[in-house]
């Protein structure tokens, strides 16, 4: 099977990691894979080591130049199916694929509404199948874009769980006996950064050996740093290429997002045996089971977030129990091979 993947994102995040994982995994399984991406993007820089890349994506919606170049590249590659991974990709790849008669699968990466203007309805009509990475995202696609449920395939994110579980813990430079609460991800408001900033002083006052460890970069980093400027015991790691060792070194992961598409950092924390405090919103309750693999709190509630973090930091047996259950859950539900099996079956069905 000849598969063209696309992802025009300018940043590196969960959707980009899944794009690369699917591309590399399908190639290992004997399929021909090429990646359409944005020139010089973090994904382009990483993917060109293992996948043929076509770095031509960019420009306005329905950019004639991008659509024409994409159609020509699909024809040269003799693509049998196109899979888009970033939100803007369909605005170029759907018309390009229709031009050359190739079916398109759109993976919608985020639990956010899609517009239903005449333009968008016409665009969505050219999509053969949709992939949602959570039930929450699938429901949003049905509700906002009017996509029939039978055209939406649920494929949850997957990763190399065993590699993550075997990663050695990072040296975070903390004093002996310190307990680390971690945040791992893009530093953007929707991740609940400012609720965490409000919760942390209460946690730090109650748990004198607790440290907040923040791994990531993003558009709201400056404001987040300012919000935590007076807070005690905060460590900033910046961008971390491989977060597995950082997660292994944590006592608890905080994920107070306002919405997600899936919640990859939460699943990865479970894989290394770290319990998660997450918000009971969007897809996160599908990843974190309340009182079984972590604790769920209401979104936008710093007091509830602080109370849950304090509870886990003070109760080591609870942390151990939730962590062990989370590791078993990750092995059962989030394996890379399971995700690749499901993508491969879908694409073989759709490919012309």
Class of domain 161-333 as given by CATH: alpha beta
What gap in Å lies between CA 128 and CA 325, rounded to an integer?
Answer: 38
Does position 352 have pLDDT exceeding 90, yes or no?
Answer: no
Class of domain 2-158+335-350 as given by CATH: alpha beta
Does position 145 have pLDDT exceeding 90, yes or no?
Answer: no
Nearest CA-CA partner of 94 in 71, 114, 117, 65: 71
Per DSSP, the residues of 261-313 read SS-HHHHHHHHTT--EEEESSTTHHHHS-BTTTEEEE-TT-HHHHHHHHHHHH
What percentage of the chain has pLDDT greater than the value 70?
Answer: 100
What gap in Å lies between CA 295 and CA 280, rounded to an integer?
Answer: 9
What gap in Å lies between CA 275 and CA 323, rounded to an integer?
Answer: 5
Question: In this predicted structure, what is the pLDDT of residue 3?
Answer: 98
Residue 45 burial (CB count, 10 A) = 12
Nearest CA-CA partner of 181 in 224, 208, 211: 211
Of 97-101, 141-145, 177-181, 226-230, the poorest mean pLDDT is in 141-145
The DSSP symbol for 159 reads B
In degrees, to the nearest 5, what angle opens at C-alpha 347 toward C-alphas 153 and 333?
Answer: 50
Same fold, 2-158+335-350 and 161-333: yes
Residue 205 burial (CB count, 10 A) = 12
Question: In this predicted structure, what is the pLDDT of residue 185?
Answer: 96
Question: In this predicted structure, what is the pLDDT of residue 28?
Answer: 98
Arithmetic mean of pLDDT, 113-129? 90
What gap in Å lies between CA 80 and CA 27, rounded to an integer?
Answer: 14
pLDDT tens for 271-283 read 999 999 999 999 9
Arithmetic mean of pLDDT, 334-339? 98
Question: In this predicted structure, what is the pLDDT of residue 115?
Answer: 86
According to DSSP, the residues that pair with 153 across neighbouring strands are 131
Arithmetic mean of pLDDT, 165-179? 96
Is there a contact between 105 and 347 (Cβ–Cβ < 8 Å)?
yes
pLDDT tens for 229-262 read 999 999 999 999 999 999 999 999 999 999 998 9
What gap in Å lies between CA 62 and CA 54, rounded to an integer?
Answer: 18
- List all residues 6 or more positions away from 146 whose beta carbon is below 8 Å from its beta carbon: 116, 121, 124
What gap in Å lies between CA 111 and CA 77, rounded to an integer?
Answer: 32
**Domain map (residue ranges) of the chain:** 2-158+335-350, 161-333
Per DSSP, the residues of 93-149 read HHHHHHHHT--EEEEE-SS-----SHHHHHHHTT-SEEEESSHHHHHHHHHHH---G
Is there a contact between 81 and 4 (Cβ–Cβ < 8 Å)?
yes
- List all residues 6 or more positions away from 205 whose beta carbon is below 8 Å from its beta carbon: none
Torsion angle defined by CA atoms of residues 262, 265, 271 and 274, in that order, rounded to the nearest 10 degrees: -130
pLDDT tens for 287-310 read 999 999 999 999 999 999 999 999
What gap in Å lies between CA 342 and CA 323, rounded to an integer?
Answer: 27
Nearest CA-CA partner of 5 in 25, 30, 38, 35: 35
| First and final C-alpha spacing in the chain | 9
């Amino acid at each position: 099977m000849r598969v063209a993947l696309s992802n025009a994102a300018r940043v590196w995040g969960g959707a980009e990691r899944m794009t690369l994982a699917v591309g590399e995994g399908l190639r290992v399984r004997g399929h021909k894979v090429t990646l359409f991406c944005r020139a010089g993007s973090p994904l382009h820089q990483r993917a060109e080591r293992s996948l043929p890349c076509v770095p031509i994506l960019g420009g306005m919606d329905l950019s004639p130049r991008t659509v024409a170049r994409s159609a020509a590249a699909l024809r040269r590659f003799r693509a049998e199916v196109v899979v888009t991974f970033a939100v803007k990709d369909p605005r170029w790849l759907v018309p390009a694929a229709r031009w050359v008669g190739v079916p398109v699968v759109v993976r919608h990466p985020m639990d956010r509404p899609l517009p239903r203007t005449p333009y968008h309805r016409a665009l969505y009509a050219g999509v053969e199948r949709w992939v949602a990475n959570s039930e929450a995202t699938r429901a949003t696609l049905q509700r906002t874009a009017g996509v029939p449920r039978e055209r939406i395939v649920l494929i949850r994110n997957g990763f190399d769980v065993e590699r993550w579980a075997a990663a050695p813990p990072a040296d975070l430079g903390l004093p002996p006996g310190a307990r680390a609460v971690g945040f791992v991800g893009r530093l953007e408001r929707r991740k609940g950064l400012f609720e965490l900033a409000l919760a942390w002083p209460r946690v730090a006052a109650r748990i004198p050996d607790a440290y907040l460890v923040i791994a990531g970069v993003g558009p709201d980093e400056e404001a987040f740093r300012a919000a935590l400027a007076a807070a005690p015991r905060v460590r900033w790691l910046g961008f971390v290429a491989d977060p597995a060792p950082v997660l292994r070194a944590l006592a608890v992961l905080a994920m107070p997002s306002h919405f997600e598409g899936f919640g990859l950092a939460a699943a990865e924390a479970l894989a290394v045996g770290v319990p998660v405090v997450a918000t009971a919103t969007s897809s996160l309750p599908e990843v974190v089971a309340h009182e079984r693999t972590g604790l769920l709190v209401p979104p936008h509630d710093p007091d509830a977030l602080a109370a849950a973090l304090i509870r886990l930091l003070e109760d080591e047996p609870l942390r151990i129990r939730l962590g062990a259950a989370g590791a078993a859950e990750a092995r059962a539900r989030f394996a890379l091979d399971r995700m690749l099996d499901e993508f491969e079956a879908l694409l073989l069905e759709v490919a012309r």
